[in-house]
Amino acid sequence: MVLAPNAGAMTHWGTNSYIIGEETLAIVDPGPAEAEHLAALMKAIGSREVSHILVTHAHSDHSAGAMALASKTGAPVSGFGTAREGRRAIMQSLAETGDLGGGEGLDERFAPDHVVREGDRITGAGWEIDVVHLPGHFAGQLGFQLDGNLFSGDHVMDWSSSIVSPPDGHIGDFLASSRRIIDLAPNQCLAGHGAPLVDPSDRLEWLIEHRSARESQILHALSTTWLPLHEIVAKVYLGLPDNLRPAAARNVLAHLIDLWERQLIEADPGPQQSALFRLR
Ligand SMILES: [Zn+2]
């Protein structure tokens, strides 16, 4: 693994770029487009051939370095599609209202040479990778299974819960993908940020539990009186540091959209940032 120098509140110690193989290599998540990181990757690759560049999702901290790495190594880039590919129709139509916000870190320039999807097998020299689709944090997020390892992008991390920000994030998908990984039962998840999660099912169960607790708090905070998003955030997240408040508001909006889709709450004029919300 080669660590990118982009540490931050959302990226922990930075993006993990993984190198698979011994002679002919695959790179999982080239990371941000930073000359320093590209040089470190090229140094780790050395004189070996790179046959595949695999991208878990089109957030710039994972994908933006793909083009430069592809031109240095000659390897094609594989991914789900362009950054908006795979968005749910409801999320796309809410995004078109103009007041949904989100789209943080979207890598608008990402265009893979090869589209890979659920069920595809990618074969290299001495390794085989099975592709799984893990929407939730990002609609077009892929997981790459190599023996007992799952390269899991930003779905599950040991240092933070993952942000679910609409229109690219979706709570129902996030829960379904969490259960999916539990069923796949990898020995470890190799996360996009932070340390590997050995036997990750406990952490995934915790994430599911955490989301359902958050949903209960939101339902409890809502009443039959209309409330704006920022008031719901303030009721649900007590004592949250200021630098995490925007991300918290995205998670709450994702839950509100989910509750609205399930017809448990009303939103006026519709589920968006400036709307008012109340119990149905
Ligand atoms: Zn990331």
Residue 271's pLDDT is: 96
Q: What is the CA radius of gyration of the chain?
A: 19
What does the block give as tokens for 248? 């918290």
121 CA from centroid of ligand 1 (Å): 24
- Ligand 1 centroid–CA 191 distance in Å is 9
Do 232 and 274 contact (CB within 8 A), yes or no? Answer: no
Judge contact between 232 and 248, C-beta under 8 A: no
pLDDT digits (tens, 9 = 90+) for 162-186: 899 999 999 999 999 999 999 999 9
Residue 262 CA to ligand 1 center (angstroms) comes to 29
What is the reported pLDDT for 167? Answer: 97
What residues of the chain score a pLDDT lower than 70? none
pTM for the structure as a whole? 0.95
Structure confidence by residue, pLDDT tens digits, 89-137: 999 999 999 899 999 899 999 999 999 999 999 999 999 999 999 999 9
Q: How far is the CA of 11 from the centre of ligand 1 (A)?
A: 6
Ligand 1 geometric centre to CA of 2 (Å): 14
Q: Is 210 exposed, middle or buried (0-12, 13-18, 19+ CB in 10 A)?
A: exposed
Cα–ligand 1 centroid distance for 10 (angstroms)? 7
Query: How many angstroms separate the alpha carbon of residue 266 from the centre of ligand 1?
Result: 32
Residue 176 CA to ligand 1 center (angstroms) comes to 20
Instruction: State the distance from the centre of ligand 1 to the C-alpha of 104, rounded, in angstroms.
Output: 11
The answer to whether 225 touches 140, Cβ cutoff 8 Å, is no
**How many whole angstroms from 154 Cα to the centroid of ligand 1?**
6
280 C-alpha to center of ligand 1: Å? 35
Q: Ligand 1 center to residue 235 CA distance, Å?
A: 28
Query: Phi then psi for 23, rounded to 5 degrees?
Result: -105, -55
In this predicted structure, what is the pLDDT of residue 132? Answer: 98
pLDDT for 79: 98
CATH superfamily of 2-212: Ribonuclease Z/Hydroxyacylglutathione hydrolase-like (3.60.15.10)
Domain ranges of the chain: 2-212
